[in-house]
């Protein structure tokens, strides 16, 4: 049995999306894969999360869930764009999960569509602190310039929503202490993500976009956006098999690209609630019905043709 360690971090407000996310992980696990799952929690959210996720045991056996309490609160950390200090908790993973020298981290606004064994084993982090997928921010002039100002190469800057940590090396070099200092004394727009790219600069391993397929990745393909970072095969594989990361609008709140993938896994999950499902689509149809025709057409163009 192949044991893969995975970390998630969320609060009680994200229990259902997290449950669907974890369900998709387990649904696509090979018979030979066992997921050793760790969830970083605050004392105030642990009970609700633990009780809510117990239902996963009704359907799956190839996993375990352990809870780790947050030991550092990032009280002085910068908050912006509605993203709270909880975003910084992933920086503590090497300290909070000391039993593994190599470990994966994932946000919960994602859907897994394949087993993670291959990418975990293929990502050699020898002499690297962390592995991640290059951000498509290089496509946007303003974001590109912001990263230049930070002293970073926009073509090498990674996303922090899906990562593989070399926890052994991060502990050895006491990098978590540097993470904490940066979080408490700086005001970075992209918070933990900027910190990871700044502190780990020169020791970041770039991995396939299959590990983090964002909205922009689909836009690159749909519009043949000129770029030299990802190959056509990488983009194709990411779209067909990769982790879908809803790093913009959330499918359980609004209609967005690939919302159908999330709802497919929600319907198959033990978290499915018929009333929530009905009310969501009923309300969205009503919203569209009350809009002028031109507005409806613009919405459809925005979400399905863009």
pTM for this predicted structure: 0.92
Say yes or no: 90 and 73 in one domain. yes
Shared domain for 117 and 38, answered yes or no, is: yes
Average pLDDT score over the chain? 92
Region 66-84 average pLDDT: 79
Radius of gyration of the chain (CA): 19
When pLDDT is averaged across residues 33-61 and rounded to a whole number, the result is: 96
The two structure tokens encoding residue 211: 């590990």
Residue 206 or 306, more confident: 206
Query: Are 56 and 101 in a shared domain?
Result: yes
288 in the same domain as 167: no
Q: What is the pLDDT of residue 306?
A: 43
- 256 and 134 in a single domain? The answer is yes
134 and 46 inside one domain: yes
Query: What's the CA gap between 104 and 149, in Å, rounded?
Result: 29
For the chain, what is the domain count?
A: 2
pLDDT of residue 223: 85
pLDDT tens track for 159-192 = 999 999 999 999 999 999 999 999 988 888 889 9
Average pLDDT score over residue span 109-118: 98
204, 283: one domain: no
> Average pLDDT of 133-154?
95
What are 265-292's pLDDT values in tens digits?
A: 999 999 999 999 998 888 877 776 666 7
Q: Are residues 304 and 185 in the same domain?
A: no
Residues 141, 281, single domain; the answer is: no
Q: Are residues 165 and 284 located together in one domain of the fold?
A: no
**Helix locations, 211-292, DSSP H:** 215-222, 232-241, 259-268, 274-289
On whether both 268 and 291 belong to a single domain, the answer is no
Element spanning 71, H or E: none
Helix (H) / strand (E) containing 96: helix 93-96
17-33: per-residue pLDDT in tens? Answer: 999 999 999 999 999 99
Q: Is the separation of the CB atoms in 242 and 212 below 8 Å?
A: yes
Same domain? 264 vs 280 = no
What's the domain range around 306? 274-306
């Amino acid at each position: 049995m192949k044991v893969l360690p995975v970390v998630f971090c969320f609060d009680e407000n994200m229990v259902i999306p997290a449950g669907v996310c974890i369900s998709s992980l387990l649904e696509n696990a090979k018979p030979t894969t066992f997921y050793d799952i760790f969830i970083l929690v605050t004392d105030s959210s642990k009970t609700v999360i633990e009780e809510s996720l117990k239902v996963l045991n009704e359907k799956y056996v190839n996993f375990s869930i352990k809870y780790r309490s947050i030991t550092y609160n990032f009280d002085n950390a910068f908050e912006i764009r509605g993203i709270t200090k909880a975003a910084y908790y992933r920086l503590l993973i090497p300290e909070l999960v000391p039993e593994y020298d190599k470990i994966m981290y994932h946000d919960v606004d994602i859907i897994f569509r394949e087993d993670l064994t291959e990418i975990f084993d293929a990502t050699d982090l020898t002499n690297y602190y962390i592995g991640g997928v290059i951000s498509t921010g290089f496509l946007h002039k303003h974001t590109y310039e912001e990263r230049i100002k930070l002293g970073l190469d926009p073509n090498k800057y990674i996303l922090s929503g899906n990562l593989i940590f070399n926890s052994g090396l991060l502990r050895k070099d006491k990098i978590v202490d540097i993470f904490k200092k940066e979080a408490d004394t700086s005001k970075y727009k992209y918070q933990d993500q900027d910190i990871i790219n700044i502190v780990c600069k020169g020791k970041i391993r770039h991995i396939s976009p299959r590990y983090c397929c964002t909205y922009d990745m689909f836009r690159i393909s749909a519009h043949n956006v000129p770029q030299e970072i990802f190959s056509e095969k990488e983009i194709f594989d990411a779209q067909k098999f990769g982790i879908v990361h809803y790093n913009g609008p959330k499918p359980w709140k609004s209609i967005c690209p690939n919302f159908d993938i999330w709802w497919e896994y929600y319907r198959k999950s033990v978290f499915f609630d018929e009333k929530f499902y009905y009310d969501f689509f009923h309300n969205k149809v009503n919203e569209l019905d009350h809009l002028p025709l031109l507005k409806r057409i613009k919405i459809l163009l925005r979400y399905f043709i863009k």
